[in-house]
Chain A
Amino acid sequence: AQSVTQLDSHVSVSEGTPVLLRCNYSSSYSPSLFWYVQHPNKGLQLLLKYTSAATLVKGINGFEAEFKKSETSFHLTKPSAHMSDAAEYFCVVSGVRNTDKLIFGTGTRLQVFP
């Protein structure tokens, strides 16, 4: 069965410092993995996705994530946080094989302090 675990419910960083949001997954087949961001009362925006191509995936707004099969991880990073990065981040794994269902993690709230 597919599942995803976000290890931190809250992460706080200072503006200009690196961001690390952790995600581990469980999958019975080669999964697709995604990171989405949700700003307050807004829809979900795709940051990046992994679909079995390059293991290091670059996304929008300077974010990137590395797929590590040996560690079953897909952590999201950014070298330098910006105030506008404050939001809820969801790690997502593809659900039932050959469908487009998604399984969402519980989310990580990122706070950025000046």
Chain B
Amino acid sequence: GAVVSQHPSRVICKSGTSVKIECRSLDFQATTMFWYRQFPKQSLMLMATSNEGSKATYEQGVEKDKFLINHASLTLSTLTVTSAHPEDSSFYICSATRGRDRGRSLQFFGPGTRLTVL
């Protein structure tokens, strides 16, 4: 159990376009989802925390108008990279928790989405 999927796994787009990435919890209800960004050969940096039905909380330095997050249901969160530029090219990873024990819940990670902006 506790499987998280992401779609698409890989996307290439032109500069100036917007790209939507989906994160789904397949076999559990995710009260909280997290979005991370990973640059090549670097660690994961938390971008934002998303709770179902409420606005996402963004980490310092992350542009909320650039990276739109929607957590419409307990099994789906989306990240939209608006007006993408080459510097937005990265590996985007989501995770989800069941939220039964806040502060101790395990995060289950999706396989990631590689975004390349030309």
Contacts and interface: CB of A to CB of B under 8 A. Distances in A.
A22 B26 CA distance: 34
Nearest to B32: A100
Nearest to B112: A43
A43 B110 contact: yes
B43 A51 contact: no
Interface string A93-107: 011011111101111
Nearest to A107: B43
Contacts of A7: none
B104 A106 contact: no
Interface residues on A, range: 20 to 34
Contacts of B75: none
A43 B107 contact: no
B111 A43 contact: yes
Given A44-B93, A90-B43, A102 B110 contact: no
Given A41-B114, A51-B104, A90 B99 contact: no
A104 to B, nearest CB: 5
16 contacts: A42-B112, A43-B109, A44-B95, A44-B109, A49-B106, A51-B104, A95-B46, A98-B102, A99-B103, A100-B34, A100-B102, A100-B103, A100-B107, A101-B34, A107-B41, A107-B42
A13 B3 CA distance: 32
